Each structure stands twice: as C-alpha cells, then as structure tokens.
Chains A and B, each alone.
Chain A
C-alpha cells in the first residue's frame, strides 16, 4: 500500500509538467519552505520579512486580502454575467430577469456578483479605516496610501457604473442623481462653481461626456457598461499591481 502510494507520488512529481509548475520540493525542509515562499506568486504577495506583530490576525483583519478576494470573485462572476447580458435599453432589464429566472445558476452568479460588490465596498472602507487607525499610512508608506485612495475611488465608480446596468427604476434614477452631481462639478460642470463662466453648458460638460448625451439613455448604458467591464477593471488592475508591489517593498507597519 505504502509502496504503491510512493510509486504514484514518484510518477506524478517527477514529470516535467509537475516540475515546470512547482519549482520546489515538498515543504518539509527549511530550504523548500523558503522556496515555496519565494517561487509562489500567491504567497509572494507578502513581504519577505514580516514582523511578528503584523502577523496577528487582529492587526490587519485580512481586510486588504479580502478586498482582493472580492475583486477576483467579481471579475470571474462578471465574466459569466457578460455571456447573457446585453447593454441595450430594450433588452437589459429582461436579460437580468432571465438571469434570475430561466438560466441555470444565473441567480447564483448574479447574487455572487451583487453581494461581492457590496462586500468589496465595505471591506475597502474597513481596510482604509484599519490603515488609518494603525497609522500605516505614515512614511515610508504615504505613496501606497495615495494609491489606496485611488483604488477606493475606482471601486466606488465601479459600484456606481454597475448599478445602472440592470436598467430598472432604481438604476435609472440613481444614475440620474449621480450625473446631476457631476454637472455641479467645479470648473467642468455646467451647474458648478465657475462652470458657466468657463462656457460649460449641458452639452459640453463632464456629465455630457460621462452619459454620452444629456439624459440617461442608450449611450449612457453603453458607456457605463464599457467602463464597468473594461475601462475601470484595467485601471484597477494596474493600481493593484502597484499597491501590492509597494506592500512587498515597504512591508507591514506592525502594531503601534
């Protein structure tokens, strides 16, 4: 029995396919344990040196990692939703209804996407609150705090653009309100301070570019869809890469 298992393990782990994926032995020696950390892309996200205090769950509450987990979950479930959702004002609402009623596991994927989105917004806020309360934004980590603030804003805009896509009354009026707020932006909004003085009108200001028109209609739905599924995720991935790279370089701050 043991010999058979050893033989199977030998046959699996000595293949070129296995060796090309796992470039270290079983982590039962110090050398292999170190190699696991160095050569594994997931575990490598952490700095090489971590202070004992920073390893405590009560220091970080894993909030950054949770946020990243929700992002990955949203990306995967979002791709699945894209197979059935068409950003067409005549179809969008019915496509969402179909996801909830006639497509196998459609409501599961939609619910996962929706709740992960809520959870991600929540965990981003909690993460930033934790970073603020532990003073982890202080030098040398002030650059990563700025990156984090950008990521927070992108997360909120992602949430907002995704909110329009079901094309129901809630979506329409929420985005109508949001775009009215954009019109009140200083300098670049037609209703904002110094906007009219700079020649801003309803058909050339920032809200006009955002909606692709003056009302929340077909062009707004398409723009929000493209931003939600392509533009913002790319921006987010870029800043996340920088964020993780700085974590590796700067390390965890450790308890106060």
Chain B
C-alpha cells in the first residue's frame, strides 16, 4: 500500500501516521458493508428458520384438566383415569392427592395391584407403595404427585399435570421413603 518504500521515510510524516490509505479504507468499508449485509441476511433467515421449528400450537392432551368432584372418589386408589389422563386419584383419611402414572425409572406406566396395595412397573420391576415411596426395584425417586385445586365455580378438582411434587427421598431399610406429612401440603394435597 505504500509504494516506493516511503513507509519509514521521515520526509513523509502523514504516511507515517497510518498504513491504511483512503482507497484501502473505503475498500474495506465496502467489503464490510457488503459481506456484513450478506451475513446479516443469512443469519436472519437462519434464525427465522430455527424459530419456525418451534410450534406455537400443540395438539397434545391438555396438561390442566378437571376430574370431577371430590365426592366422586372413595378411600383408596382410583384407577379409572390412568389410561385417559395418566394419573391415579388417591384418597386417604385426610384428603385427596393425585399421583402421576409414570415410573421414575424409565417412564413406563406402572399397574396398581389392589390386593398387594402396591404399584408395580411391568418394565423393570419397580415397586411403589400407595404413597409413591419406592419399596423395590431400580426406581431412583418416588412417584410424582401433581398439583390440584378446586374450581370455585363448579367445585370440580382441577389437576395441573405439569406442576409436580418431587421431594428428595431418604434411603431406609424398606426403600426410598418420604415423610408423608411433608407431602400433604397444598397445592399437592386437597384436605376434605
């Protein structure tokens, strides 16, 4: 850019200050604007295409749903919503809780055996008691309980399938246990 070896010449102080000529400066600026614009267009369409891949509407079963009134459920484990909603509704002397029918080992659906009072998973043999504590098999944590509330208008139980209780269990002789009192708190328990 500096013909004639004038670069280090003391007679040419202006050349000494910078080694970028005006022509070079505008060339670089033009290249910067051109390629910058190209990169921006490419990046913009890339971001647009990426955003396109995240759907705004899902055709999946609702995650918040009503399951009827508290009086519809008697003492014990109610199995009837397992297929449709993937939950068990459990009532004890104190109230109602909703257990998510997903095994904590690898996500299969366990079965409720009323004679043994146990949930048993057919895939790898995890066993849970009626509170969801792990009493056998490879499951590393206790069953989830879903949040529930009462709809003030029609008095039905509203289940939020995605809001889940997941306490850290204690390893004991019987298995991985969680203190039942600490679990029976709103919004995961309905006193009735």
Could you tell me if A105 and B48 are in contact, using CB atoms closer than 8 angstroms? Answer: yes
8 Å CB interface, A95-129 against B: 98, 102-106, 108-109
CA distance A80 to B1 in the complex (A): 48
Interface of chain B: mostly helix, strand, loop or mixed = loop
Is B152 an interface residue, CB under 8 A from the partner? no
CA distance A106 to B53 in the complex (A): 10
Question: A52-89, CB under 8 A of B: which get 1 and which 0?
Answer: 00000000000000000000000000001001100000
What residues on B are CB-neighbors of A14 within 8 Å? none
Is B56 an interface residue, CB under 8 A from the partner? yes
| Candidate in B20, B48, B51, B55 with the most chain A CB atoms within 10 angstroms | B55
Is A28 an interface residue, CB under 8 A from the partner? no
Could you tell me if B19 and A80 are in contact, using CB atoms closer than 8 angstroms? Answer: no
What residues on A are CB-neighbors of B28 within 8 Å? 5
CA distance A214 to B55 in the complex (A): 36
Could you tell me if A2 and B1 are in contact, using CB atoms closer than 8 angstroms? Answer: yes
Q: Return B15 CB to nearest CB of chain A, in Å.
A: 13
8 Å CB interface, B1-46 against A: 1, 18-20, 24, 28
What residues on A are CB-neighbors of B48 within 8 Å? 104-105, 108
Partner of B19, one of A2, A102, A108: A2
Could you tell me if B19 and A1 are in contact, using CB atoms closer than 8 angstroms? Answer: yes
Could you tell me if B56 and A104 are in contact, using CB atoms closer than 8 angstroms? Answer: yes
CA distance A3 to B2 in the complex (A): 13
What residues on A are CB-neighbors of B51 within 8 Å? 104-105
What residues on A are CB-neighbors of B24 within 8 Å? 2
Number of residues from B at the complex interface, CB < 8 A? 15
Partner of A102, one of B1, B18, B20, B56: B56
Partner of A103, one of B1, B18, B20, B56: B56
Check A98/B57 contact, CB under 8 A, given A2-B1, A103-B52. yes
CA distance A104 to B56 in the complex (A): 8
Could you tell me if A1 and B20 are in contact, using CB atoms closer than 8 angstroms? Answer: yes
| Candidate in B52, B55, B56 with the most chain A CB atoms within 10 angstroms | B52
What residues on A are CB-neighbors of B53 within 8 Å? 83
Could you tell me if A2 and B20 are in contact, using CB atoms closer than 8 angstroms? Answer: yes
CA distance A80 to B49 in the complex (A): 8
CA distance A106 to B48 in the complex (A): 10
CA distance A109 to B28 in the complex (A): 35
What residues on B are CB-neighbors of A106 within 8 Å? 52
Closest to B48 in A: A105
CA distance A108 to B49 in the complex (A): 10
What residues on A are CB-neighbors of B56 within 8 Å? 102-104
What residues on A are CB-neighbors of B18 within 8 Å? 1
Check A109/B19 contact, CB under 8 A, given A2-B1, A98-B57, A102-B57. no
Partner of A104, one of B19, B20, B52: B52
A-B contacts, 23 listed (Cβ < 8 Å): A1-B19, A2-B1, A2-B19, A2-B20, A2-B24, A80-B49, A84-B55, A98-B57, A102-B55, A102-B56, A102-B57, A103-B55, A103-B56, A103-B57, A104-B51, A104-B52, A104-B54, A105-B48, A105-B49, A105-B51, A105-B52, A108-B48, A109-B52
